[in-house]
């Protein structure tokens, strides 16, 4: 058997395989609050709440705009969001491969590295968020376009659109990519940054209509300070987590995190070795990695857990391959084989683990066609009915998985916060809610202690614990401010 003469043919075949694996796997994945939260945000925005001012969202507006269209066309279903994750994951793999090709890496090795990195990342293990995937696609396209497209205006347009896409989803990652784009050394790269600036100003201008601008600054800038303060350094925290495994973290999860973390560090090491060997190295390879190192050590991205470290792999492994090829072609082959094996083993394990998963009948709920575990959907729906009878359906759920409950039950949140942890609340959010409870603007709160370490909203929990208890429900302890 011989490989296709055109790498694009093999790339298309790999894309089909990755998409098929993801399409089969994602309905069977466990549910997590991270994937429910954006769907709750979309529901509230469609009901008339203003994004950022009336409902908290910690990323740029692009994914919310797209998700609104998905919900309008295919309904408010978690399965639709997961299918979109598969499509975007394939796009990440394609963009990563395009970048390796633009940098001059061997085509088949580049394809193996891109596919392996995506298979190691979240699409086959746990549902990813759309804004993270959109931002990674954007960064990879922005890095590849000035190097891989000969027509200057096309390179500038595509590169600028990609960079704007990143900035309109995760601005920290988009900003970290700007030096890497400029390092291409092409005039089209400078134009691309200009195009991105125009598109980003226009995008955030649309999002800021109706006086929402100050809320955008509050959510995306001021609240980010709280995230950094509570989260610590992403990579350092991940290292500590791996050395001291929490009781609720499986050995499999630790091994996955170790693998992703080791590949990330190894990729950066290959780039550093290339810099030393060639004195100055290749700026188009080293500058993007330098930007990633800066945001990683500043705890801005990726977050300190296995899922986020794994999802960052496509951005690290591509320059690692190019650096390896510059050092020695055999080293590039070894790097490609390592990533290919890691991705292949991940895919096989994911399929084996999920093949016996039973999908309960959740017809008529957003969970139709997906696995709601570890939540008992009947228990959640029953708890929602209890609260509806006691509160007329409007209640602040103060528990880390509040988004799951809001999505399943349709309960109304009287506050902007559907993910009530310390980082979304920002520097002043907890005090504002305490005051709203005091003056009766928020009457009911159902709470369950978060036990989320530094992310626990201690100020708000302590105040809620002092309020009179109305009832103990399946959703938690219901208290009343009046």
Q: What pLDDT does residue 377 have?
A: 95
pLDDT, mean of each 10-residue run, the chain (482 residues): 60 87 90 93 97 94 98 96 92 93 90 90 68 95 93 95 97 93 88 96 93 88 73 59 56 68 89 80 84 79 72 90 92 94 86 85 92 94 96 96 97 96 89 94 94 86 95 96 76
Q: What is the structure's pLDDT at 2?
A: 44
pLDDT of residue 226: 73
Question: Is 139 within 8 Å of 174 (Cβ atoms)?
Answer: yes
User: What is the structure's pLDDT at 348?
Assistant: 86
Chain centre distance of CA 8: 28
Of the candidates 395, 406, 403, 372, the residue with the CA atom closest to the CA atom of residue 479: 395
Extract long-range pairs of 102-106: CB within 8 Å, 24+ residues apart. Answer: 102/143, 102/144, 102/145, 102/147, 102/148, 103/147, 103/282, 103/284, 103/285, 103/318, 103/319, 103/322, 104/322, 104/325, 105/318, 105/321, 105/322, 105/325, 105/332, 106/325, 106/329, 106/332, 106/336
Q: Rounded CA gap, 139 and 181, in Å?
A: 9
Q: For residue 423, how far is the Cα from the chain centroid?
A: 16
Look at residue 247 in the predicted model and tell me its pLDDT: 47
Residue pointed to by tokens 């499986």: 250
Q: Residue 4's pLDDT is what?
A: 46
Q: 């801005």: which residue's tokens?
A: 300
In the beta sheet, which residues pair with residue 398? 447
pLDDT confidence of residue 265: 87
Distance between CA atoms of residues 308 and 25, nearest Å = 19
pLDDT (0 to 100) of residue 1: 36
What pLDDT is recorded for position 3?
A: 43
CB neighbour list of residue 400: distance below 8 Å, 6 or more residues apart = 33, 419, 420, 421, 450, 452
Tokens of 303: 């977050």
Packing angle, helices 313-327 and 130-148, rounded to 10: 30
pLDDT reported for residue 252: 61
Contact 228, 298 (CB under 8 A): yes
| Res 283: pLDDT | 84
pLDDT of amino acid 353: 82
Three-class HEC string of the chain: CCCCCCHHHHHHHHHHHHHHHHHHHHHHCCCCHHHHHHHHHHHHHHCCCCECCCECCCCCCHHHHHHHHHHHHHCCCHHHHHHHHHHHHHHHHHHHHHHHHHCCCCHHHHHHHHHHHHHHCHHHCCCCCHHHHHHHHHHHHHHHHHHHCCCHHHHHHHHHHHHHHHHCCCHHHHHHHHHHHHCCCCHHHHHHHHHHHHHHHHHHHHHCCCCCHHHHHHHHHHHHHHHHHHHCCHHHHHHHHHHCCCCCCCHHHHHHHHHHHHHHHHHHHHHHHHHHHCCCCCHHHHHHHHHHHHHHHCCCCCCCCHHHHHHCHHHHHHHHHHHHHHHCHHHHHHHHHHHHHHHHHHHHHHHHHHCCCCCCCCCCCCCCCCCCCCCCHHHHHHHHHHHHHHHCCECEEECCCHHHHHHHHCCECCCCCCCCCHHHHCCCHHHHHHHHHHCCCCCEEEECCCCCHHHCCHHHHHHHHCCCEEEEECCEEEEECC
Query: CA nearest 408: which of 432, 376, 442, 441?
Result: 376
Reading the block at residue 167, the tokens are 């900035």
Q: What is the pLDDT of residue 76?
A: 96
Q: Strands 469-473, 396-398: parallel, antiparallel or unpaired by DSSP?
A: unpaired
Work out the number of other CB atoms within 10 angstroms of the CB of residue 32. 17
Q: What is the pLDDT of residues 256-271, one digit of tens each?
A: 677 888 888 899 999 9
């Amino acid at each position: 058997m011989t490989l296709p003469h055109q790498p694009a043919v093999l790339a298309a075949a790999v894309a089909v395989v990755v998409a098929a694996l993801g399409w089969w796997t994602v309905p069977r994945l466990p549910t997590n609050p991270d994937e429910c939260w954006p769907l709750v945000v979309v529901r509230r925005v469609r009901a008339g709440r203003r994004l950022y001012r009336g409902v908290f969202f910690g990323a740029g507006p692009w994914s919310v705009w797209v998700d609104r269209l998905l919900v309008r066309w295919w309904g408010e279903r978690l399965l639709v969001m997961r299918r979109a994750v598969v499509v975007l994951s394939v796009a990440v793999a394609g963009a990563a491969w395009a970048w390796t090709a633009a940098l001059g890496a061997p085509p088949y090795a580049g394809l193996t590295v891109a596919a392996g990195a995506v298979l190691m990342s979240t699409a086959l293990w746990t549902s990813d968020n759309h804004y993270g995937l959109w931002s990674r696609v954007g960064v990879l396209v922005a890095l590849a376009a000035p190097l891989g497209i000969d027509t200057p205006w096309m390179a500038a347009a595509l590169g600028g659109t990609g960079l704007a896409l990143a900035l309109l989803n995760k601005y920290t990652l988009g900003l970290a990519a700007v030096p890497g784009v400029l390092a291409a050394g092409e005039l089209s790269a400078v134009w691309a940054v200009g195009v991105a600036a125009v598109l980003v100003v226009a995008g955030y201008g649309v999002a800021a209509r109706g006086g929402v601008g100050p809320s955008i600054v509050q959510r995306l800038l001021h609240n980010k300070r709280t995230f950094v303060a509570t989260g610590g350094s992403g990579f350092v925290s991940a290292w500590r987590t791996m050395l001291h495994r929490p009781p609720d973290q499986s050995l499999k999860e630790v091994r996955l995190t170790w693998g992703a973390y080791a590949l990330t560090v190894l990729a950066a090491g290959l780039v550093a070795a290339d810099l030393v060997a060639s004195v100055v190295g290749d700026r188009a390879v080293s500058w993007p990695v330098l930007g990633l190192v800066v945001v990683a050590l500043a705890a801005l991205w990726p977050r300190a857990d296995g899922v986020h470290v794994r999802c960052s792999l496509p951005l690290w492994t591509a320059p690692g391959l190019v650096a390896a090829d510059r050092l020695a072609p055999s080293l590039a082959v070894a790097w490609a084989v390592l990533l290919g094996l890691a991705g292949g083993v991940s895919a096989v394990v994911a399929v084996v683990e999920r093949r016996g998963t039973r999908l309960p009948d959740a017809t008529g709920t957003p969970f139709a066609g997906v696995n709601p575990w570890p939540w008992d959907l009947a228990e959640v729906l029953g708890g929602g009915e209890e609260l509806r009878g006691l509160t007329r359906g409007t209640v602040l759920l103060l528990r880390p998985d509040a988004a799951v409950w809001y999505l399943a039950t349709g309960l109304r949140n009287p506050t902007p916060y559907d993910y009530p942890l310390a980082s979304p609340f920002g520097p002043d959010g907890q005090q504002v809610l305490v005051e709203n409870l005091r003056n009766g603007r928020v009457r009911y709160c159902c709470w369950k202690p978060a036990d989320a370490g530094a992310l626990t909203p201690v100020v708000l929990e302590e105040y809620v614990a002092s309020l009179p208890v109305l009832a103990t429900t399946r959703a938690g302890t219901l208290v009343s401010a009046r």
